[in-house]
Amino acid sequence: MRASRLLSILILLQMRGRLSAEALAAEFEVSVRTIYRDIDELSAAGVPVYAERGRAGGFELHEGYRTKLTGLTRNEAEALLLAGAGGAAADLGLGAEAAAAQLKLLASLPADSGASAQRVAARFHLDPMPWYARIQPPGVLPALASAVWQDRRVRITYESWKETVGREVDPLGLVLKAGVWYLVAAVRKKPRTYRVSNIRELDVLTVASNRPRRFDLARHWEAASREFEERLMSGRAIIRASPEGRRLLRDNYPAAHEALEARHTKVQPAGWVKAEIPIEGDQQAARQLLRLGVEVEVLGPASFRKAVALEAKRIAAIYG
């Protein structure tokens, strides 16, 4: 821990210039006395750090001194700093390590490149959460991440929309999708997906997990996501939409909006279009489209149009 702090102090002095003992103590949540001892150790190790006395004083590295930690280029460093993995790292229990890695990353570059990379990180922030959604407590996620990394089989109690089940699985990877963590794990050598927030209990076993030699997490997730969307949106409906309806579809029903924009015909009144869209099921889709009011009309099939009319009647009955 102390060795890591010494390195971080060195990198901070390199990146920020002169820093007071009080500022360093606040940064690392230690006493000022501890910082003085750390500075003495850096000096003893040959690091040219000196103290400037006075009101604006502090510790500073000798002009021109830099530590080289990696061979990253400027563009590589900027891309990594823009990756926005800070929140994900914190969820996985790696927040402090991620912050330390960023400092080392900045310190690895020439002076002008490091400043540029830090400028990128200070001006771009990636937030994967949708509006009005809140980050869920990580719960079992850090322990699960450790099991994934160490290739350990786990026993989970999982609450699905049907029932709560218990099973042993071989973790293959974790995926962050739109602010929600998912576990990809093998059950009898077949990959399955579990929402981490639905895992009620987790036991990490001493048994090694059985990971397929050629399993590619990114490739599997892409294929599984596409298959899930196609299976979920297996129905079809014909609608007509106003210009405002098209905008509402874009913001509330992306799959339908994509299908409409890809292929549609113009109808009356002026500005309206007709298209076939994918739907999940009559009842679910009826509730989704009723959110758009009179800007979208269902033309068919008859069963779906009937489901929309029935749901609208129920709403009207509530409000009289």
pLDDT of residue 162: 81
Residue 129 tokens read as 């959460």
Query: Which pLDDT does position 203 carry in this prediction?
Result: 95
pLDDT confidence bin for 182, thresholds 50/70/90: very high
Task: Find residue 190's DSSP bridge partners.
Answer: 187
Q: Is the pLDDT of residue 1 over 60?
A: no
CB 168 within 8 A of CB 201: no
Q: Is residue 227 pLDDT above 80, yes or no?
A: yes
Q: How many residues does the chain have?
A: 320
Q: Hey, which of 50-54, 116-120, 174-178, 270-274 has the most confident mean pLDDT?
A: 270-274
Asked if omega into 269 is within 30° of 0 (cis), the reply is yes
Q: Residue 106 and residue 111: Cα distance in Å, rounded?
A: 9
> Under a CB-based contact definition with an 8 Å cutoff, are residues 280 and 232 in contact?
yes
Cα separation, 119 vs 81, in Å, equals: 10
Bridge partner residues of 58 (DSSP) = 52
pLDDT of residue 70: 47
The tally of CA atoms less than 13 A away on the side-chain side of residue 122 is 7
Q: At residue 229, does pLDDT exceed 60?
A: yes
Tell me the C-alpha distance between 241 and 266, whole Å.
10
For 50-109, how does the pLDDT look when each residue is reduced to its tens digit (9 = 90+)? 888 777 778 888 776 665 554 455 555 555 555 555 555 556 555 555 555 555 555 555
Q: Calculate mean pLDDT across residues 200-224.
A: 91
Q: Which residue has the higher pLDDT, 32 or 138?
A: 32
Alpha-carbon torsion angle 271, 277, 279, 284, nearest 10: 10
Tokens of 211: 């990971």
Nearest by Cα to 118 from 207, 7, 15: 15
Give the pLDDT confidence score for residue 318 in this predicted structure. Answer: 92
Token pair recorded at residue 118? 């830090």
CA proximity to 114, closest of 164, 173, 72: 72
Q: What is the mean pLDDT of residues 116-134?
A: 64
Percent of the chain with pLDDT over 90: 38
Band of residue 176 on the pLDDT scale cut at 50, 70, 90: confident
- What average pLDDT score do residues 31-49 get? 85
DSSP result, the chain: -HHHHHHHHHHHHHHH--B-HHHHHHHHT--HHHHHHHHHHHHHTT--EEEE-STT-EEEEPTT---------HHHHHHHHTT--HHHHHHTT-HHHHHHHHHHHHHTS-HHHHHHHHHHHHH-----SPTT--PPP-TTHHHHHHHHHHTEEEEEEEE-SS-EEEEEEEEEEEEEETTEEEEEEEETTEEEEEEGGGEEEEEEEEEEP---TT--HHHHHHHHHHHHHHHHT-EEEEEEE-HHHHHHHHHH-HHHHHHHHHS-EEETTTTEEEEEEEES-HHHHHHHHHTTGGGEEEEE-HHHHHHHHHHHHHHHHHH-
Closest CA to 102 of 8, 38, 36: 8
pLDDT value at residue 98: 55
Q: What is the pLDDT of residues 260-285, one digit of tens each?
A: 999 999 999 999 999 999 998 888 88
Which residue is listed with tokens 């279009």? 273
Residue in the structure block whose two tokens are 């006493």: 31
More confident residue, 235 or 125: 235
Report, as an integer, the average pLDDT of 152-175.
92
Prior bond of 301 cis (ω within 30°): yes
What is the average per-residue pLDDT within 184-212? Answer: 92
> What would the pLDDT profile of 298-314 be if each residue is shown by its tens digit?
999 999 999 999 999 99
